[in-house]
Structure 1
Amino acid sequence: MRVIPALIVLSHAFASPALAYPVGIEEVRDMAFAKGIVKLKEIELNDGIWEVEGKDATGHEIEMEVDARSGAIIKLRRD
């Protein structure tokens, strides 16, 4: 009977790291669109920071970093 609870605990331990943070990929995508990104190139979670790359309507590149815990925009750079 103790095997099943152990399997549940292990399954949560190996779950996607994105699930451990309150700010998910959908929220980050919406934030990117609100900041002028119209074409997403990449969204990646790296050490608790969402890294977003994309382009605005004129084709300029935009990079954005969002804290996955607070949802705060740490970096927003337009080239």
Structure 2
Amino acid sequence: MSRTKLLAALAVAAFMANGALGAAAEPRETKTAAIEGISEAQARAIAFDTGLVHVEEIALLEGRWELAGRDRSGDERVIDINAHDGTLLR
């Protein structure tokens, strides 16, 4: 392999490794609402405090965290939390 091709291959490998490491360092589910005030972890804690024992889905939508999960009896529940101050909306 020529020196030019070897350098090009190393550059491509380094670029790909950087993208893979960046993706691994920040999982898709770790969203924060720094501007909003309440992080995903805080929203989960609030949901658990209200009786959820398992969170199946969580999304930050229009200034609110929407969590879908199950309570202790296995019933499905949906909880909306204000992303600004953490108050329950539903």
| TM-score, length-scaled by structure 2 | 0.61
Q: Which residue of 1 aligns with 2:67?
A: 52
Contact 2:46 2:86 in 1 (8 A): no
Matches within 5 A, 1:1-79: 18-75=33-90
Aligned length: 60
Structure 1: state its 5+ residue gaps: 1-15
Structure 2: state its 5+ residue gaps: 1-30
| TM-score, length-scaled by structure 1 | 0.69
Larger relative helix fraction: 2
Larger relative strand fraction: 1
Q: Sequence identity of aligned pairs in percent?
A: 30
Higher relative contact order (CA 8 A, sep 6+): 1
Instruction: Please say which structure displays the higher CA radius of gyration.
Output: 2
Cα root mean square deviation, aligned: 1.5
